[in-house]
Amino acid sequence: MRFSVSQSALSRALLVVMKGMATNSTLPILSGIYIHAEEGTLEFQSTNLTISIRHRIAANVEEPGSVVVSGKMLSNIVKTLPDSAITFESVEHMVSITAEKSTFHLNTLDPRDFPEFPTFALESSIELPSDLLSTMVERVYKVVSKDTSRPILSGILINVEDNLIRLVATDSYRLVVCDTNVETSTLEGVFQMIIPGNVFHDVLTLPSDSQTILIGSTDSQVVFVFGNTTYISRKIEGNFPNYKQLLPESCETSVKMDLTDFSAALKRVSVIAVSN
């Protein structure tokens, strides 16, 4: 295997797939990144057996092939290299990485031992604006529960119906409901799913040139497709709490104030607030 790719493109690709690597696994292969080179395209894969990520970029491929290298080591090397062409050449169980006057030699793992990327057939899906969805997730993500004994509360409920996107999150003490109107004329019926909160948040922080993101579901998976990236995670099973019964129809007292002034006032008084 032999190919060349720019440092900037490689660095960005690694930022994407590093999110799917296992950090404390007893299986060395899961701490690696699978790289497949063929017909002018590099395909990167990572997995921790719960999350699987695939990302593709263009490259100058001279000899096709596959290799698995340490993700952390490769990322650290690429960060130190100048923004120039980087050449990879794999021979037996070793890969050489060359950029200008620098050359690194890394041991590799057998790509045949790397878990196969999950196949999927979407039962339902919807395509939504990435920036809009990112803003909504940021608003609800802070109240997602960290309690592993109640996994349903670690998820974010997404409901799309009649040109309305609704995200809901709760930790049983706090509840956030975020609504936004958006054109969903291609949607037939209702799209509803519980997505792991950390997964939803991570996906929308990954670098992407795509203005939209496709969200789909299978019987056990949640699938995100944006640009040249496919991100698959296990879906949270169960019924989300009936939050609607907690929403009051009206309030006895309501206050309308300037958001900037209110935020500044909270920061001042929080200086002396006691944390339990």
The reported pLDDT for the residue numbered 135 is 95
Tens-digit pLDDT profile for residues 154-182? 999 999 998 899 999 999 899 999 999 98
The residue assigned the tokens 């490689």 is 10
Q: What is the CATH number of domain 124-246?
A: 3.10.150.10
The predicted structure's pLDDT at residue 20: 93
Record the pTM.
0.90
d(CA 150, CA 237): 11
Per-residue model confidence (pLDDT) at position 265: 93
Q: Which pair of tokens denotes residue 91?
A: 């021979």
How confident is the model at residue 252, as a pLDDT? 85
β-sheet bridge partners, residue 127: 214
Supply the pLDDT for residue 276: 53
Do residues 22 and 30 lie in contact, with contact meaning Cβ atoms separated by under 8 Å?
yes
pLDDT value of residue 274 = 73
> Does the 2-113 domain belong in CATH 3.10.150.10?
yes
What's the chain look like in SS3?
A: CEEEEEHHHHHHHHHHHHHHCCCCCCCHHHHEEEEEEECCEEEEEEECCCEEEEEEEECEEEECEEEEEEHHHHHHHHHHCCCCEEEEEEECCEEEEEECCEEEEEECECHHHCCCCCCCCCCEEEEEEHHHHHHHHHHHHCCCCCCCCCHHHHEEEEEEECCEEEEEEECCCCEEEEEEECCCCCCCCCEEEEEEHHHHHHHHHCCCCCCEEEEEECCCEEEEEECCEEEEEECCCCCCCCHHHHCCCCCCCCCCCCHHHHHHHHHHHHCCCCCC
- Confidence (pLDDT) at 183: 85
Q: What is the pLDDT of residue 189?
A: 84
- One fold for both 2-113 and 124-246? yes
Buried b (16+ CB within 10 A) or exposed e, 169-200: bbbeeeebbbebeeebeebeeebebbbbbbbb
Domain locations along the chain: 2-113, 124-246
pLDDT of residue 184: 79
Q: Which residues of the chain have pLDDT under 50?
A: none
How far CA 94 is from CA of 11, 70, 108, 137, in Å, comes to 21, 12, 5, 42
